Structure 1
């Protein structure tokens, strides 16, 4: 039914104008109004379809039947192919829509089930469907069958046209022989019955043929000098029938289904045409009543399709927006499987939204769907390529990790503790650089690798248990020396420098400590040493500057040149220290960039730089002392 509505939209809905009975009166008064009617015959012609032979209710039931499986649809198609009946377009369209609705639902369910059972998304392929191939084959036969029926109908229309033209010629001849009117009346009734039994004719000839037929029938009745009672009885029966047709047309205004009402009106219109004339003084009145009732249905019918067209335009706008969304999603870069899955959920959500939107205008419905499907296909094609590449990368990473597992297992029973430890640590670092692998096999590989490493390190630790105890004792001794150095740093007693030297000698003679404590111990030790050396250096520097000032008078006694010579030496020393500081700072910068570990070396260099800066400050104070003496 929807398809017939769409075709009516494409052709344009014309108001049904029924022919006036009193054609002779209209002609005599100069009324040349052209009759435009869309009867059951012309409707079939306009649609380029064979006239349906089944009752309308039966056709509507067939077009609204609910099918629960593709098998049921195929059985119905085969029944249509094997039968002699003409395929009904409304039913064929309904079968097509129902089949593909089930077909796409099955395909989505298969894909969903595949993914839920852990299937690889890029591995999934849509397989050919035997039911779809069978459906297409049956539809091809039906199409050929409908085409043959259409050609046969066209041939039948031409034959019917000739028959009706022959009837008109006979009635025309009887209408021009008044003296034979009474005698010809039974023949006229037979010709009218024959006219009714002849159905479809070419649409372009319908109006003209009907006008000629009605004209000569009415002329015959006007000339008929029949028994008045019989004539009046015939007029009365025709009036009763046309009055009932008017009432039926008026009741259609209450029909909720405007499409059904419109088709019923066409049937009433055909019946009205086939009913004989009424008395002259009533013809205009009856026609006006029937025309008024028809106008109400025609306006509702037109408004219905205008509203339908408006909804279809809205649907087109909505579907265009969804196409743009999918196209934008299809263009976005997805760097991980999580990104792809997120976008996939968005695409599926948009597809569900698409299903909830009705048809777009017929001219754009297929195009907009093809655009939407192309955008979806592009996305899922790119997704398939991504997972294909990821699978290849997984395979490569798996082989690399298997090789590392084999290497680690080969070292499991080694007793070369230091060399093997270094090798296993190197293998562990290399393991971290290898990308991801499938979780199931990845967990197994990791467990095997970890087991091999643990086996070796546990054996090594068991062998070195005694050395670990010694390392803990060394840690305790070094912490005690650090505590003594901290006390010296806070006391500032005489002879501190000698005591510091003794403690540092003792510290250096103590062996290794536990590896985990090494960095912290190193930091504590050098922090207290830095403080002690800084305090000692500053104190010594002050004494040297004071002694230098005291000796300047002796130098001055040797003459002004002696002070200048001394100042020149100090300036050269100042520049030398400055250059050395710059060199160390540059080297330190390179070391920071290129070395991730090397804190001890960096700390040593920082201490040297600080000592040079302190020396440079001492030289600077001596230069100031000479300058003050020269004043």
Structure 2
């Protein structure tokens, strides 16, 4: 009876044919063919370089045999994801996750994750530094939310769910497959039975080989051990069972022909220009050699394996040269990135004292950041160190910049305190009737306001509005006081009052042109009366209400009606000779133009967003509504621009 293979045998213990069984178990990188043929322990000492090459291939094949998705990962070249922007990384991730082969892209997805989180965390750090520089309130907490981060988290969660389900199923299958293969090996051990019928034994042997080929993947850490055990007992079946030698020799011959074809193909692969592609095929050939092809006769085992092993070493050497060239490129990239970091470090020490100069410095750093990300990969062992140095350089620059703006912030807060005091003073005087004493003080307050610099942006509009209203309130009272005794204005008021009563009786004829001419004549007549006292200017509002009613009945376009009303109001302002009100009106209109333009810009951006969606070819109701709003806003913009044009043509008498 053949002695069973036992992991506990002494290293130098040999079986009946002189095969070192313990040596066979340990030489996991050799093929089953040459392992069973070894007659001395030292015969397994394969040349170191060849062993390195076969070790690498054996380890890779063991891993891929466990999970076949690994094999597909090598088909897509790895990009330099560090060079991509956050938006581009999201698009790359979306493409991989949405594929039905997402697991095959695991390495790409993990590299994208690494690049995205590194850049995003760096961005958050910068935003936090800016926040701390601008906000002095210790109770206000920093918060930063990005739609890009939400997109990334959602996509990566989808991938993680697929991955977890896959590996859960994989682990169960691997365990079951391993048990099946071990059971097959045990049955192989029992085949050597002199009392058994040879035909039944051969049939059982062929059934076991068929079951073995269909048994499925097993854990990678068991791969070589289990396969070598299997081949050991298969070879022993051939070598120790001397029955049906003719069938055995035919099988040996067939296996030798297959292995010779593999050797011939590897000889071609050694000449292949695409080294990575050739090496991948070599891995597949090693797997076929080990898993699909049976043993050959003893006289050919060493020779055919040595041929295959030597060619494998040549291919491995070519691949090492390729890696050395890639490393040379990575080292050049490293020097480039070090130079970029050094430039940023210099900018973090150059002191500038003006906002415009800092804008230039910021632009330089942004250009260097872009260059850093585009510089390509560096050696993996210094990647973290290089990234850390880059982050520190940018952080130091931002801290240096923020210290400048922090000083500006202090100056602006001082200016805010000064202007707040002037607002309080103006409000205290706005109801004063001692015009002779108060007017010079109010003018002085206005001059002081002009001398004070900028305040923080979030307070600028509010404090200016308060100051302007207080000043305007006082000076309007002053004008009212000056005009109160003006007899001509009183007469104008009486005339307008009488005319207003008669105008109430005016009826439209129904003829558009006749009615429009009549309304224009009423406007001209009204203007002819002249100015009224400031305190009695309410009569202008009454006149405007009557005009509004007539315009509505006349059914003019909204634009024409609006422009006629505006022209009438501007004539009234012109008559008042109040330059401040005209300036205020001009500022108001300019702001309205800006608001409408910004609204149009936002709506057009929304249209662009919908145009980029998958359903862009078929515009939905939302898109149509947005287009309608754009048209309305553009018509409004034309009206405001026409008003500004008319306003600029008004001249105030000195």
What is the aligned partner in structure 1 of residue 404 from structure 2?
A: 386
The counterpart of 1:342, out of the listed 356, 360, 375, is 360
What is the aligned partner in structure 1 of residue 174 from structure 2?
A: 157
Equivalent runs, 1:310-349 vs 2, <5 Å: 311-349=329-367
RMSD: 5.3
For residue 163 of structure 1, report the CA deviation from its aligned partner: 2.4
The counterpart of 1:282, out of the listed 300, 316, 338, is 300
What is the aligned partner in structure 2 of residue 232 from structure 1?
A: 249
Structure 1 218/196 Cα, relative in aligned 2: closer, same or farther at 3 Å? Answer: same
3-state DSSP of counterpart to 1:88: helix
Whether 2:272 is the aligned partner of 1:260: answer no
Asked if 1 retains the 8 angstrom alpha-carbon contact of 2:61 and 2:287, the reply is: no
The counterpart of 2:320, out of the listed 302, 309, 329, is 302
For residue 92 of structure 1, report the CA deviation from its aligned partner: 1.9
What is the aligned partner in structure 2 of residue 138 from structure 1?
A: 155
Asked if 2 retains the 8 angstrom alpha-carbon contact of 1:50 and 1:149, the reply is: no
Asked if 1 retains the 8 angstrom alpha-carbon contact of 2:28 and 2:224, the reply is: no
For residue 211 of structure 1, report the CA deviation from its aligned partner: 2.9
Asked if 1 retains the 8 angstrom alpha-carbon contact of 2:97 and 2:155, the reply is: yes
The counterpart of 1:19, out of the listed 20, 31, 53, is 31
Normalising by the residue count of structure 1, what TM-score does the alignment of the two structures yield?
Answer: 0.51
3-state DSSP of counterpart to 2:69: coil
For residue 259 of structure 1, report the CA deviation from its aligned partner: 2.9
Asked if 1 retains the 8 angstrom alpha-carbon contact of 2:174 and 2:218, the reply is: yes
Count how many residue pairs are aligned between Structure 1 and Structure 2: 402
Structure 1 177/227 Cα, relative in aligned 2: closer, same or farther at 3 Å? Answer: closer
Equivalent runs, 1:187-202 vs 2, <5 Å: 187-202=204-219
- Higher helix share goes to which structure? 1
Structure 1 95/328 Cα, relative in aligned 2: closer, same or farther at 3 Å? Answer: closer
- Could you give the per-residue CA deviations for residues 443-499 of structure 1, whole angstroms, max 9, x where no partner exists? xxxxxxxxxxxxxxxxxxxxxxxxxxxxxxxxxxxxxxxxxxxxxxxxxxxxxxxxx
What is the aligned partner in structure 2 of residue 115 from structure 1?
A: none
Asked if 2 retains the 8 angstrom alpha-carbon contact of 1:250 and 1:293, the reply is: yes
Equivalent runs, 1:81-120 vs 2, <5 Å: 86=103, 88-93=105-110, 96=113
Whether 2:261 is the aligned partner of 1:244: answer yes
Asked if 2 retains the 8 angstrom alpha-carbon contact of 1:235 and 1:277, the reply is: yes
- Could you give the per-residue CA deviations for residues 365-416 of structure 1, whole angstroms, max 9, x where no partner exists? 2443244224324423543453464366468669989999x99xxxxxxxxx
The counterpart of 2:189, out of the listed 172, 180, 188, is 172
Asked if 2 retains the 8 angstrom alpha-carbon contact of 1:312 and 1:358, the reply is: yes
- Could you give the per-residue CA deviations for residues 119-163 of structure 1, whole angstroms, max 9, x where no partner exists? xx989x996332321212331343354345445434443433332
Asked if 1 retains the 8 angstrom alpha-carbon contact of 2:340 and 2:372, the reply is: yes
How far apart, in 2, do the equivalents of 1:29 and 1:369 lie?
50
- Could you give the per-residue CA deviations for residues 66-95 of structure 1, whole angstroms, max 9, x where no partner exists? 999677546546535xx6974531342465
For residue 222 of structure 1, report the CA deviation from its aligned partner: 1.8
How far apart, in 1, do the equivalents of 2:336 and 2:183 lie?
56
What is the aligned partner in structure 2 of residue 79 from structure 1?
A: 98
Equivalent runs, 1:36-51 vs 2, <5 Å: 37-38=54-55, 42-43=59-60, 51=67
The counterpart of 1:362, out of the listed 369, 376, 380, is 380
Asked if 2 retains the 8 angstrom alpha-carbon contact of 1:73 and 1:99, the reply is: no
How far apart, in 1, do the equivalents of 2:80 and 2:31 lie?
37
The counterpart of 1:60, out of the listed 75, 80, 86, is 75
For residue 40 of structure 1, report the CA deviation from its aligned partner: 7.3
For residue 227 of structure 1, report the CA deviation from its aligned partner: 4.2
Asked if 2 retains the 8 angstrom alpha-carbon contact of 1:21 and 1:283, the reply is: yes
How far apart, in 1, do the equivalents of 2:220 and 2:90 lie?
39
Whether 2:236 is the aligned partner of 1:219: answer yes
Structure 1 90/254 Cα, relative in aligned 2: closer, same or farther at 3 Å? Answer: farther
Structure 1 regions of 5+ residues with no counterpart? Answer: 1-14, 112-120, 408-419, 442-631
- Could you give the per-residue CA deviations for residues 30-65 of structure 1, whole angstroms, max 9, x where no partner exists? 624488855878427669x96233863x86249679
Asked if 1 retains the 8 angstrom alpha-carbon contact of 2:89 and 2:116, the reply is: yes
Deviates more, 1:163-172 or 1:379-388: 379-388
- Could you give the per-residue CA deviations for residues 301-339 of structure 1, whole angstroms, max 9, x where no partner exists? 334334444544554454344334423432443322244
